[in-house]
A and B are shown apart, each in its own frame.
Chain A
Amino acid sequence: MSLQKQTPMRQQPPQARIHNFDEVPLGYSENEAIVEAERCLQCPTAPCVEGCPVNVDIPRFIEHVKNSRFAEAIAAIKDTNSLPAVCGRVCPQETQCQGVCTLGRRFDPVAIGKLERFCADWESEHTAPKASVPEKNGQRVAVIGAGPAGLTAAGDLRKRGYDVVVFELLHVAGGVLMYGIPEFRLPKQIVQREISALKEMGVEIHVNKVVGQIYSVDDLLGSGYDAVFIGTGAGLPRFLGVPGENLNGVYSANEFLTRTNLMRAFRFPEYDTPIRIGKRVITVGGGNVAMDSARTALRLGAEESIIVYRRSAEELPAREEEVEHAREEGIDFQLLTNPLRFLEKDGAVAGAECIRMELGEPDESGRRRPVPIEGSEFVIDVDTVVIAIGNGPHPLVPRTTKGLDLNRRGNIVADSETGSTSKEGVFAGGDIVTGAATVIEAMGAGKRAAAAIDRYLQSKEKRTE
């Protein structure tokens, strides 16, 4: 064991992995996990727990790993986190638990995310005793949207004794975990395994349900549901608003990733949904979704995959590991660059006219504002463009719910601690409230809302007694 350095996780070499959709990091062995767990100082202040949006008892689970008590370790995680196999893979640990790790002040922080993933994977390969779930208490809660926020709220409410029904618009549960995050970063089988665990706890999940059309939130409240949680996410893709953006070959990241992940277009024609990929692909944006898109393009057969981002490397909002993996795979980063228009040939996109940028004074986000450098325009020849600059709130439920306050961007206004909205009995959390953020932040919101719904329903019951 080295106190200085994290135990590395084996991963597929870049040259091999750019030709397949298999997961990149391969996981820890039991021994590697124990070695890494031994690095934890078990410091009394445990800042990592505070750093975790769902407050996993990190020192406790790591202590169990260190002592080879893997079943106890996963149980400790699952006390507060319903989706550990997901979080171990996609959380931005460097800005959360690992960012505040005491060991990390001098050396590499403990690889908390990798250990969490190890525990979750260990559980799937062993039969751990099932956590006991309380009998249903007769009160029903409807959850709209089976993404990270909704699934977390559903799991926590079920653990608190409520009868929970989740309504999902798409044909599978999982939300962004299924349609957005690629297979090579989060295998879909793992997502479905976590969802099966929720179903085993008694959470009902109904797919293909267009809430807002087949029933409104008011219909749900009037038909036996005592409270409603809205976690419908940020599903509406944003575009740049530049000329040529509607040409063939220009995709939103949502379309590009949904075709590939949810509809499995990488296995066309075995699967019916196609995707068309050119030799040279540019992805506009610098977040995780942009990294996912650029790396997906390579795996779909692009010869060159280029990230175009208007700020510098320092401002890239993606997780460190994603940027690192993208660089290893040969993604070209055109930083401080912004597209001005897309050029057409034979009805499809053939070029991106871009301009170089420099950083000026800080803007309202605190980051230095990118300013175009006059006269620096140039053209990148491209066959495919992916726009990955974020998503607005999914409009269906907010548009059809009376008495629900929205902000000017169309997000639901909800208390950040409780998720309560302007409408009694209706709570909301995740990207539909905050705008596009991370999986774990949405899960944190789902968790806090579940606690608040519990308090609300208990006090309501007292009032009616």
Chain B
Amino acid sequence: MYKILGKRTLGPQIREYVIEAPEVARVAKPGQFVVIRLHEQGERIPLTVVDTDRESGGVTIVVQEVGKSTREMGDHFESGDTILDFAGPLGVASEIENYGTVICVGGGLGIAPLYPIARALKEAGNTVIGIVGARSEDLLFYIDRMDAVCDELIVMTDDGSAGRKGFVSEPLREILSSGRKIGRVWAIGPAIMMKVSAQVTREFNIPTVVSLNSVMIDGTGMCGGCRVEIGDEAKFACVDGPEFDGHRVNFDLLMSRQRFYHDEEACALDRYLKSEGKKE
């Protein structure tokens, strides 16, 4: 059992949890993930590590409540409660070096895993340009935290309710077009956002790292459900990734595989909402 040390709402259906897991907190690095399971009937949910605190033994994760399990977590798991399973860290850590100037692009929930990477890049001596975006202002979070670790921060919303109106790929293109020397780009967010960002950086031949959130069961290399095509090769996002060269990822396959359980996920969510009396 793993205790929830803290819970905080970051936006509509976006919550931050700090889970007590000292062994994981001691070693987890930016880019890695954990797998959690709420209870005996629960599924294994992979979530990227956002922050760790060696003193309290806390590991921070951010959860967007898009399905039954994550809704249930938001509705019923409070600070002081416990979750059944918490395993990690899993996956390969981000390659943090001094690349000169880097751009960190985060879309939606992707801002959460991007934050520790941006911070580590800053600590490694990089000039960090942050570009973060969401559909609207209420879905933006961690702006202060990103601001603290970025030399420049550009905020985008689809509807213009905060920052500039438009997609994160627009300022990305502007910066690259300006001729500024960029050593590397990290782009983390929905598959489509990573695909578009990688298309932009490919034009300028800037190495680009993306973090793939494919469907996983165990998260430890055993099921192969998370396999993605990188160039001509099938790779497992869990043990070979989750970060890959964005210019070589088959994003269409990733998106197709992410949708495979759409009907079952909808059915589970519907059943849950009915049982909670939240839906007729």
A residues at B contact (CB < 8 Å) = 169-171, 179, 207-210, 213-215, 235-237, 239, 245-246, 248-249, 251-252, 254-255, 258-259, 262-264, 268-274, 276, 347-348, 394-396
Contact = CB atoms under 8 A, between A and B. Distances in A.
B269 to A, nearest CB: 10
Nearest to B67: A272
A273 B229 CA distance: 24
Most interface-central of B37, B223, B234 (chain A CB within 10 A): B223
A259 B225 CA distance: 10
A248 B256 contact: yes
Interface stretch (B96-104, B163-171, B214-222): B214-222
Interface in B210-250: 217-218, 220-225, 227-229, 234, 236, 239
B24 interface: yes
Contact of A210 (B68, B89, B229): B89
A257 to B, nearest CB: 9
Contact of B87 (A171, A347, A395): A171
* 4 pairs of A and B residues whose beta carbons are closest in the complex: A274-B264, A255-B223, A272-B43, A208-B87
A246 B43 contact: no
A38 B81 CA distance: 58
Grouping DSSP codes into helix (H, G, I), strand (E, B) and loop, the B interface class, with mixed when no group exceeds half, is mixed
Contacts of B265: 274
Given A239-B224, A259-B217, A246 B84 contact: no
Interface in B78-101: 84-90
Residue with the highest number of chain A CB atoms closer than 10 Å, among B23, B43, B224, B261: B224
A206 B168 CA distance: 44
Contact of B217 (A236, A263, A271): A263
Nearest to B264: A274
B227 A394 contact: no
A207 B217 contact: no
B232 to A, nearest CB: 10
Contact of A276 (B87, B228, B256, B261): B261
Interface of B: 23-24, 26-27, 32, 37, 41-44, 68-69, 84-90, 217-218, 220-225, 227-229, 234, 236, 239, 253, 256-257, 259-261, 264-265, 267-268, 271
A312 to B, nearest CB: 28
A146 B168 CA distance: 46
A396 B218 CA distance: 13
Nearest to B24: A214
Contact of A347 (B37, B44, B85, B256): B256
Contacts of B68: 269, 272
23 contacts: A169-B220, A171-B37, A171-B44, A208-B86, A208-B87, A210-B88, A213-B89, A235-B220, A235-B221, A236-B239, A237-B224, A254-B223, A258-B218, A258-B223, A259-B223, A264-B41, A268-B268, A269-B268, A269-B271, A270-B41, A272-B268, A274-B265, A347-B259
Contacts of A274: 261, 264-265, 268
Contacts of B267: 269
A83 B121 CA distance: 51
A215 B142 CA distance: 31
Nearest to A216: B27
A250 B267 CA distance: 22
